[in-house]
Amino acid sequence: YSHSLKKTAVVTLSRDKITLSWLVLEYFSYFCFFSPLLPFHRTSLPSPMFSRNDFSIWSILRKCIGMELSKITMPVIFNEPLSFLQRLTEYMEHTYLIHKASSLSSTTERMQCVAAFAVSAVASQWERTGKPFNPLLGETYELIRDDLGFRLLSEQVSHHPPISAFYAEGLNNDFVFHGSIYPKLKFWGKSVEAEPKGTMTLELLEHNEAYTWTNPTCCVHNIIVGKLWIEQYGNVEITNHKTGEKCVLSFKPCGLFGKELHKVEGYIQDKSKKKLCALYGKWTECLYSVDPATFEAYKKNDKKNTEEKKSSKQVGNTEESDEMPLPDSESVYVIPGSVLLWKITPRPPNSAQMYNFTSFAMALNELDKEMESVIPKTDCRLRPDIRAMENGEIDLASEEKKRLEEKQRTARKNRSKSEEDWKTRWFHQGPNPHTGTQDWLYSGNYWDRNYFNLPDIY
């Protein structure tokens, strides 16, 4: 790219400026090609998103109340041009928190960073109301980010129920992060709830420690009328299996006055349940840590103030839609003495036209010639429907999506006729070594890049 830029730019310049321009451009291309600090990742999608205003989703969904959403065929217009395998890779956006955890010598401080990582992992969901494409059985995705220090592999290991397994490792061998997710979607009339069943396991290799947790439930409100908004709620319990320390975080449902909107709070406790520190913040913004006594004193005071306010407010009634409550204050109040653990990176200016993607998400479906020659043919970057949607070709995307789903159905029928079972390629089922629960474990050898007999799924 930078070579072609060099040529075209030079032709348009007058002669006396050529020498200088060459120098500048040479320097520029040198900088881009050889600076390890400046990896190329695209910063926008090839095409902005379509408006969804002309589509009546109600006409499609009215018949489906109470059904599991994976069984409902949705028009492609409500998707975002990413496979769920790519969407779950967004857990890795704040990998620096894992590297940091690994570098710390105190177990409590390590837990603080792991908690910040677990909270930050769901931050990319904020205002992302587009539905990712359901992965096809056998679909895979890989992502290598030298700049962030990790590589990740994922595979769709089951279709009904849809289960995605992933395995990420630090490039300097400091961690392994793996798990399997079964995003159980429920349609509740006005909202869609996604309960991400499955255990996350993070191993800090230098400390010989393993942490496990499950993600909070995500709910998209007002899918029929009103403004779409997203809420995450439920408890997330992170366990350090070596020390017995726990971090219990509560993702708050927004509540009647919206005061709790996006809030997360909880404690790190030792084996004997003694509180070691309090954590608080918003999953859309930041996470702080503070001394538990200071935190409780603040909460007590705050509760008193809220009760006074409540008695002076009127409760509004809304029949049509679940209005997103406006939070009393947009930002988190920082209790004196707190330490900042994580802060969200602002979204890029073009995000609103690009499905509210983060900079990290913009690059997920990027495909260049070099990559194309090494990735297996099951990689979701090669999925024609997602590619078409990304390019703004909605009708083609819709046709291709139907074709792929049909092909998947035919292949399944063929298998059942010949009584042959589907074999997963890179993962196998087994007990999680730390929790003992049923999980999907990496079988190895993916990065040898010796791909043969891969299924033809596209």
> Which residues form the interface with ligand NAG (CB under 6 A)?
127-130, 228, 352, 355-356, 407, 410-411, 414
Residue placing its CB nearer to ligand NAG in the complex, 297 or 352: 352
CB of 355 to ligand NAG, least distance (A): 5
User: C-beta of 455: minimal distance to ligand NAG in Å?
Assistant: 9
In the bound state with ligand NAG, the residue whose beta carbon lies nearer, of 15 and 417, is 417
Contact assessment for residue 285 and residue 334, using Cβ atoms and an 8 Å cutoff: no
Least CB distance from residue 418 to ligand NAG, whole Å? 9
Residue 136 C-beta: closest distance to ligand NAG, Å: 11
Instruction: State in angstroms the smallest separation of the CB of 127 from ligand NAG.
Output: 4
| Shortest distance (Å) from residue 277 CB to ligand NAG | 33
Residue 64 or 411 with smaller CB distance to ligand NAG: 411
127 vs 393, beta carbon nearer ligand NAG: 127
Kindly state the smallest distance separating residue 406's Cβ from ligand NAG, in Å. Answer: 9
CB of 47 or CB of 429, closer to ligand NAG: 47
Report in angstroms how near the CB of residue 130 gets to ligand NAG at its nearest: 5
Q: Compare residues 26 and 406 and give the one whose CB is closer to ligand NAG.
A: 406
Q: Which is nearer to ligand NAG, 173 or 410 (CB)?
A: 410
Residue closer to ligand NAG (CB basis): 335 or 411 = 411
